């Protein structure tokens, strides 16, 4: 049978049983995990040959089959539902059987040599998460951060009303707000980066319970070395093999960092939707890109569709984190047995945040334009600028002026003059750009 042939089932009896036993969701094990199973097993065969434990020619056939799985050539040969045995044993055997068929090797004695489902499957999950985060998510977040930073610079001189508790507050610049958004993304990215060294510690070599039974003492280190060289990822030994075998805390930590990013995106997307609301009776400080019609009945209506996507994705990531947390706390003794659940939700979160960050940058943030009349109206009409009068006339008198203006109308300057504040003081105190810079007096 050709190694390229995926028109015929390449799996064996254990995979068939698993397919029959777990007709749960119709959702298969995430492909990044499948491909990392192939990569691990291919390099395991090479190492076992180097150690004199496996015939070199047979090892190369196993390695070639593993490489093809890693390249995505046999994705269709992994049909097992993601909701399966909690150790991922079924998927590990699926990989063993496919590689055995392609190579003519024995699925256990040769393909699985020096391995157990209990160390190989979680290693594949860790490395899939590390790979997807490093090569897809982090670059997408960098792009989004750069988009916000560019707008912060472009909008640095545009003054508007601040808002706290959704109520008028002292002025800020639009650039200051966007600078804050850029920093949120930057700090979120940093939290993710800080979680990755633990994810990079894999339990490979622990076999069944962390003791390394039936594996060569040099096996795990040599496989890690090959995997690192092949992918450019820094893959390391665990600080303690029993910690690495018995729990998935590193994945829970990574998910927590992803949740923080989702929380940040929720705040940012909500702000943009509100600032872009209108066009006539909303806040109306921004123009969001018009991507599509917003209503099937109201002509001309345009909705903030990208912020709405961001909000929905963020909700999903936060929900995934809850499932991952529950999965993480349900390990017993030497093995966590909720690994497929954790893998499914973690890799979905990584994927969703990766695609959404890129879409958010390219289809929303990059195209945002200021509504200059709306910003001017916002900055000049907020009574909160009276705060800048406090050092000159005191809080109580400033409060009386605000109350008078709110109840009887008139601009702050007009009402302040009525209360005896001279123009020189008003000019000095009510410079909007100085207020936004945090300075109301020399």
- CA atoms of 98 and 338, how far apart (whole Å): 24
Residue 269 near residue 310 (C-beta atoms within 8 A): yes
Give catalytic residues, as residue numbers: 165, 295
Helix and strand numbers (H, E) in the chain are 18, 4
Beta carbons within 10 angstroms of residue 45's beta carbon: 31
Following DSSP, what letter does each residue of 104-136 receive, concatenated?
A: T--IIIIITTT--HHHHHHHHHHHHHHHHIIII
Q: How far is CA 29 from the centre of its chain?
A: 19
d(CA 104, CA 121) in angstroms, rounded, equals 23
CA 14 from centroid of its chain's CA atoms: 35
Rounded distance, CA 70 to CA 62, Å?
A: 12
Burial, 344: exposed, middle or buried (Cβ in 10 Å; 0-12, 13-18, 19+)?
Answer: buried
Token code pair at residue 18 = 């698993």
Contact 402, 386 (CB under 8 A): yes
Q: How far apart are CA 387 and CA 243, in angstroms?
A: 56
Supply angle C-alpha 385, 388, 394, rounded to 5.
120
Distance CA 47, CA 40 (A): 10
Work out whether strand 369-370 and strand 159-164 pair parallel, antiparallel, or are unpaired.
unpaired
For 103, 318, 399, 421, the CA distances from 394, given in Å and listed in that order, are: 85, 46, 9, 12
Given the DSSP bridges, would you call strands 167-173 and 286-287 parallel, antiparallel or unpaired?
unpaired
Tell me how far apart the 2 most distant CA atoms of the chain are, in Å: 97
H helix intervals, 172-297: 174-199, 219-231, 241-246, 249-275
């Amino acid at each position: 049978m050709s190694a390229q042939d995926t028109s015929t089932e390449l799996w064996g009896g254990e995979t068939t049983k698993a397919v029959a036993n777990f007709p749960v969701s119709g959702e298969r094990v995430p492909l990044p995990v499948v491909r990392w199973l192939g990569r691990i097993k291919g390099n395991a065969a090479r190492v076992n040959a180097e150690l004199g434990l496996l015939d070199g020619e047979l090892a190369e056939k196993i390695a070639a089959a593993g490489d093809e799985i890693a390249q995505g050539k046999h994705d269709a040969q992994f049909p097992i539902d993601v909701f399966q045995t909690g150790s991922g044993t079924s998927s590990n055997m699926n990989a063993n059987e496919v590689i055995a068929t392609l190579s003519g090797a024995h699925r256990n004695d040769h393909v699985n040599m020096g391995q157990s489902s209990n160390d190989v499957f979680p290693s594949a999950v860790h490395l899939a998460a590390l790979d997807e985060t490093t090569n897809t998510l982090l670059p997408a977040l960098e792009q989004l951060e750069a988009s916000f930073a560019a707008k912060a610079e472009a909008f640095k001189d545009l003054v508007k009303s601040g808002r706290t508790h959704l109520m008028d507050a002292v002025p800020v610049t639009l650039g200051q707000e966007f600078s804050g958004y850029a920093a949120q993304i930057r700090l979120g990215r940093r939290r993710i980066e800080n979680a990755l060294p633990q994810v990079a510690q894999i339990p490979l070599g622990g076999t069944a319970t962390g003791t390394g039974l039936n594996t060569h003492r040099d096996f795990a280190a040599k496989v890690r070395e090959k995997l690192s060289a092949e992918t450019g990822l820094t893959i390391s030994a665990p600080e303690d093999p029993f910690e690495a075998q018995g729990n998935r805390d590193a994945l829970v930590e990574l998910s927590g960092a992803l949740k923080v990013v989702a929380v940040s995106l929720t705040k940012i997307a909500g702000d943009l939707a509100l600032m872009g609301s209108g066009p006539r009776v909303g806040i109306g400080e921004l123009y969001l890109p018009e991507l599509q019609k917003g209503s099937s009945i109201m002509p001309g209506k345009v909705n903030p569709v990208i912020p709405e996507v961001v909000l929905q994705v963020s909700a999903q990531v936060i929900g995934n984190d809850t499932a991952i947390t529950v999965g993480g706390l349900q390990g017993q003794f030497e093995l966590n047995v909720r690994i497929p659940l954790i893998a499914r939700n973690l890799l979905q979160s990584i994927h969703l945040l990766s695609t959404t960050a890129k879409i958010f940058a390219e289809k929303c943030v990059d195209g945002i334009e200021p509504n200059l009349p709306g910003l001017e109206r916002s900055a000049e009409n907020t009574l909160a600028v009276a705060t800048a009068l406090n050092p000159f006339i005191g809080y109580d008198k400033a409060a009386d002026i605000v109350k008078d203006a709110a109840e009887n109308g008139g601009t702050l300057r007009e009402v302040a003059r009525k209360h005896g504040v001279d123009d020189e003081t008003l000019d000095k105190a009510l410079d909007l750009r100085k207020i936004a810079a945090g300075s109301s007096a020399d």
